[in-house]
């Protein structure tokens, strides 16, 4: 009995989360595993959430969060060094299992390495191979021992490729279920906002590149919408981004903003202007009508347009309508279409048409049911424990 307990205490887990969202989702899993496996040593990469749990981080997500084809090429030397250092740590620590979370560019490289060492690979939040780089499916089939996906349509996609994938539910639903936000009336009183004022939420992104490209056009549109509707604007700022980046954009607009968390923006706004990404999925869970925006460097966009095979770029539309349907529940303004004038036109179309506005909200809430209601972190932790 003592020896068995001793072996559990000696267990080691390698974790690789390369982005802020991955750090959050990985931390929820590790939190559960730690309650069931005393003395477990966890090491790898992550952010403040994993660090708070005592995970030994060799690199922080701030070092690894790179967006865009051109930017990845520029950071190639650093990323190669990270991979080399992680491999050295794995050789030294000899973990009993590995938890890889999203971040496919690096995680699939590490999956192959771990597989050849005989270390079980548990992959949580599958690479979006259904969108682009479908050839990565072969690596997943060969090197991943257990694949857990967060969209219901992914199970069928992988089944077609001879891979068993477990749909564990979406961590966004789990995260939002834990929220304790006060009623909207209380929020309005706290900020001195009249009940009849239109609240428009601004979510310009969580990466420097996104904010630099998207924020200026959002703020130009906000100025026009304030004149037209007397709207109040809620600004959702990512906590890990230097707020001076937002401030430099907002000063040019000359408009006051109410600073909020992203979830407060989604909960209390009548309408959202949101950069494409996980935020569109989170907003879907609140049923808040939105307009999805996206812009990047022209070279990144040209490359991406040739590679990505989807009819929609936003997760909100993909969840609501599936991979192969051209219909869009929420409008998307991409690249050259993402101009202040177009944004104002789309906002006006929704705010001036109560039926269209209500229909979008209903369709988003209906789509939420496709994300599952269970606790994905507990399901992933259960799988990890089997390997540990």
CA 240 to chain centre: 14
Strand partners, 294: 334
Length of the chain measured in residues: 388
- DSSP structure string for 51-71: HHTT-EEEEEHHHH---SHHH
Distance of alpha carbon 217 from its chain centroid, rounded? 22
Indicate if 184-371 has the same CATH topology as 2-169+373-387.
Answer: yes
pLDDT number for residue 362: 96
Q: Which residues are 352's β-sheet partners?
A: none
Q: What is the pLDDT of residues 27-52, one digit of tens each?
A: 999 999 999 888 899 999 999 999 99
Query: What residues pair up with 55 in beta bridges, in sequence order?
Result: none
Where do the structural domains in the chain lie, given as residue ranges? 2-169+373-387, 184-371
Asked if residues 235 and 259 have their Cβ atoms less than 8 Å apart, the reply is yes
- What CATH fold (topology level) applies to the domain 2-169+373-387? Rossmann fold (3.40.50)
Which residues have CB under 8 Å from 3's CB, separation 6+?
none
Position 256 scores a pLDDT of 83
Residues in the chain with pLDDT values less than 70: 1-9, 65-75, 132, 208, 239-243, 245-253, 297-311, 324-325
- Whether the CB-CB separation of 137 and 128 falls below 8 Å is answered with no
Contact between 374 and 168 (Cβ < 8 Å): yes
> What is residue 246's predicted lDDT score, i.e. its pLDDT?
67
CATH of 184-371, one of 3.50.50.60, 3.40.50.2000, 3.40.30.10, 3.90.470.20: 3.40.50.2000
Write down the pLDDT at residue 239.
66
Q: If you search the block for the tokens 């992203």, which residue do you land on?
A: 262
- The DSSP annotation for 2-48 comes to HHHHHHHHT-EEEEEE-SHHHHHHHHHHHHHHHHHSTT-EEEEEE-H
C-alpha neighbours within 13 Å on the C-beta side of residue 143: 21
pLDDT of residue 240: 64
Residue in the structure block whose two tokens are 């972190």: 377
Q: 340, 217 in Cβ contact below 8 A?
A: yes
Residue 318 and residue 310 in contact, taking contact as beta carbons nearer than 8 Å:
yes
């Amino acid at each position: 009995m003592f020896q068995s307990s001793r072996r559990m205490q000696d267990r080691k887990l390698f974790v690789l989360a390369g982005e802020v969202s991955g750090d959050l989702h990985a931390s929820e899993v590790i939190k559960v595993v730690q309650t069931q496996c005393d003395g477990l040593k966890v090491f790898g990469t992550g952010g403040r959430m994993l660090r708070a749990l005592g995970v030994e981080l060799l690199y922080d997500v701030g070092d690894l969060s790179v967006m865009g084809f051109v930017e990845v090429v520029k950071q190639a030397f650093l990323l190669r060094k990270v991979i080399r250092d992680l491999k050295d740590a794995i050789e030294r620590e000899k973990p009993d299992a590995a938890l890889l979370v999203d971040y496919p560019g690096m995680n699939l490289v590490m999956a192959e390495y771990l597989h050849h060492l005989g270390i079980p690979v548990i992959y949580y939040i599958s690479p979006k191979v259904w969108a682009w780089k479908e050839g990565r499916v072969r690596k997943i089939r060969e090197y991943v021992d257990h694949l857990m996906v967060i969209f219901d349509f992914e199970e069928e996609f992988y089944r077609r490729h001879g891979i068993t994938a477990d749909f564990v539910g979406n961590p966004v639903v789990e995260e939002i279920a834990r929220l304790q936000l006060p009623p909207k009336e209380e929020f309005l009183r706290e900020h001195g906002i009249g009940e009849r004022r239109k609240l428009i939420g601004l979510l310009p992104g969580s990466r420097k590149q996104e904010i630099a490209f998207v924020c200026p056009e959002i703020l130009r549109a906000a100025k026009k919408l304030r004149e037209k509707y007397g709207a109040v604007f809620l600004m959702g700022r990512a906590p890990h981004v230097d707020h001076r980046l937002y401030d430099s954009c907002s000063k040019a607009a000359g408009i006051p903003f109410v600073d909020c968390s992203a979830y407060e923006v989604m909960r209390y706004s009548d309408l959202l202007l949101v950069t494409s990404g996980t935020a569109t999925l989170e907003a879907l869970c609140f049923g808040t009508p939105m307009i999805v925006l996206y812009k990047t460097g022209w070279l990144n966009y040209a490359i991406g347009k040739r590679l990505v095979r989807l009819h929609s770029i936003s997760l909100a539309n993909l969840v609501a309508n599936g991979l192969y349907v051209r219909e869009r529940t929420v409008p998307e303004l991409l690249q050259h279409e993402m101009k202040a004038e177009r944004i104002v036109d789309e906002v006006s179309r929704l705010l001036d048409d109560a039926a269209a506005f209500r229909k979008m909200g209903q369709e988003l809430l209906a789509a939420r049911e496709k994300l599952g209601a269970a606790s994905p972190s507990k399901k992933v932790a259960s799988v990890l424990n089997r390997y540990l």
